[in-house]
Every structure is written in structure tokens, then in C-alpha cells.
Structure 1
Amino acid sequence: MQSEAGEPIEILLAEDNPGDVRLTEKALERGKIVNNLHVTENGVEAMRFLRREGEYAGEPQPDLVLLDLNMPRKDGREVLEEMRGDPELRRIPVVVLTSSEAEEDVVKSYELSANAYLTKPVDFEGFVDIIERIEEFWFSVVKMPPK
């Protein structure tokens, strides 16, 4: 399955844990939707990707951002706040995908207009299930805004 325009879905994963990056890659490979996964390992790089600055100048705007909260240089909360304050980026759906179960992180993420907050499962099958559900919901069920 592809986007309505027949193009692969563009996903930005802002994640500093290489193990979680590999799990996400494997889960998306098993999914039913053709996608291009772009990875940044900190919040500064995520914002440079989103704004297509420097080495990211030719990159596509993502259809969805999977955002870890606890990253170096700029955390996910700061990335989310910057995205929602930027007219060019505010419509991109953001799914917070993090290990934090702290109530204050959940509340703050929704206050910053996250579209969803999910806690990463610790086992591979659980992680794959979450990624497949994200993929199915955001690209099969939801009507996405035009780019």
C-alpha cells in the first residue's frame, strides 16, 4: 500500500537509541505500507531535517514524525514546541514514541499538541505491534492533510 498519490509514505524517526531505530526499521519492513524512513539522532538534527537545512536540503517533508522525548542536544518536547510554533511544520502529525510513562510527560506532550503518545514496549513483538498499529492508523484510517 502507498499514499493516495502513489508515493511512499515519508516518516521521520527522531530517536537516539540505535536499538530502537533498528526495531522501528524492522517493524516498518514487515508492514503493509511502502515507506521511506528517515532517522535523526537528536532534536537539533530533527529540526534541521524538518526545515530542510544543510545536508537535509533535498529531503522530503515527512508525512509523520515519530518522536522520542529523551534525546540529546534538544529533547522531544522542545522539538514538538518548535514544530507547533512553525506554520510550515505545525500540520505534520507527531506521534510521541518514548520509554517515559511519566504522567507529566504525557500531559506536556498533549499540551504541546502531540497527536498521540505511546510508550515503547520492551519486547520485540510488542514493539512491532505498536509500529504496525501506528502505520495502519495514520496511513489507512486517518485522512491526512495535504502537503
Structure 2
Amino acid sequence: MPETSPTVLVVEDNAADRRLFEEAATETGFPTLDFATTTMEAITFFPTRCPSADECDGPELPDLLLLDLDIPGEGGMALLEELKTSSVPLRRVPVIILSSEDDQATIDKAYDLGANAYLTKPTDYDTYLELVEEIRDFWLARIERPSYK
């Protein structure tokens, strides 16, 4: 892991799914999590203006965004599209779709809009725990993060 703890934003409106992810994250030593439950709430975790990495106005960017597609407001696809068509720092935030939707058209659309990965939510806790460990190990411990802070 890098010297500073990575920041992870989980956008999930289902309280049971948030609790499940938080329990699995705690059990696997995942970094501190922030949660948003709507598109509008998620947007508050991103700078309002970000022409360059050194000129962002607002909060620091999360190191990883875990995004459910079925969220109140404009929905996860709209949030994904907004981030991936924004200024360079915002575009560089890795976005993992974590959804119960598993139809190919939805998966293809998410990748077309710039998702870095698409994962279907497991239905049992042991598999969910394994998935959270894999996310932690790959996306937060092994990859080189872009410069956007």
C-alpha cells in the first residue's frame, strides 16, 4: 500500500449492500470508506471545477470509485459518463461497477462509458469477502495510481 491510505468512495443506495460491503471491508483490512447513496450525493465527493490536477476546487479526488448502477437520481451510468467525460483529473479516477445487473448490454454500455471494471455482486458472503479482498489487493495495493491530486 502507498504511504497515505487510499480513499474509496462507494456509491450504493441499498442499506443492506452498504452494510455487507462495510463488514467485508473491515474484515479484509480495506482502507477507510466514504459512502454516497444518490447521484447528487456522490457528486459532492468530487471537485466542482478541476481544470488540472493542481487547480481542483473542492475535496480531494477518491483513489477508487465503486459504483452501483441502480441509484437514485440520474443513476450510475449517468454519473460514470459525467466523470469519464470531465477534465483529466476526474477522468483518471478508476471506476469499478459493482452491480447485481449482469446482462451483456449493460456491461457493454458501462465499458463504453469508461468503466475500468464491471463486477457482479456475489450472492453469498464468502464470495463477497473474496471479491473485496481482490479489489483491495489489485486496485489499491498493486496498481500505479494516476496523478490527479
TM-score, normalization: structure 1? 0.88
**3-state DSSP of counterpart to 2:32:** strand
State the Cα distance separating 1:122 from its structure 2 match.
Answer: 0.9
Tell me how far apart the structure 2 counterparts of residues 59 and 86 of structure 1 sit (CA, whole Å). 16
Report the aligned-residue RMSD. Answer: 1.7
1:1-147 counterparts in 2 under 5 A? 2=1, 4=2, 6-33=3-30, 35-51=31-47, 59-87=59-87, 88-146=89-147, 147=149
Contact 1:23 1:128 in 2 (8 A): no
Contact 1:14 1:42 in 2 (8 A): yes
**3-state DSSP of counterpart to 2:8:** strand
Report runs of 4+ in structure 1 exceeding 4 Å deviation: none
TM-score, normalization: structure 2? 0.87
Residue in structure 1 matched with residue 54 of structure 2 by the alignment:
none
State the Cα distance separating 1:72 from its structure 2 match.
Answer: 0.8
Of 58-67 and 95-104, deviating more is 58-67
State the Cα distance separating 1:59 from its structure 2 match.
Answer: 4.3
- Aligned residue pair count: 140
Gaps of 5+ in 1: none
Tell me how far apart the structure 2 counterparts of residues 8 and 31 of structure 1 sit (CA, whole Å). 15
**3-state DSSP of counterpart to 1:50:** coil
Gaps of 5+ in 2: 50-56
Tell me how far apart the structure 2 counterparts of residues 58 and 37 of structure 1 sit (CA, whole Å). 18
Identity %: 36
**3-state DSSP of counterpart to 1:86:** coil
Contact 2:46 2:58 in 1 (8 A): no
Tell me how far apart the structure 1 counterparts of residues 142 and 24 of structure 2 sit (CA, whole Å). 19
State the Cα distance separating 1:58 from its structure 2 match.
Answer: 6.6
State the Cα distance separating 1:9 from its structure 2 match.
Answer: 1.3
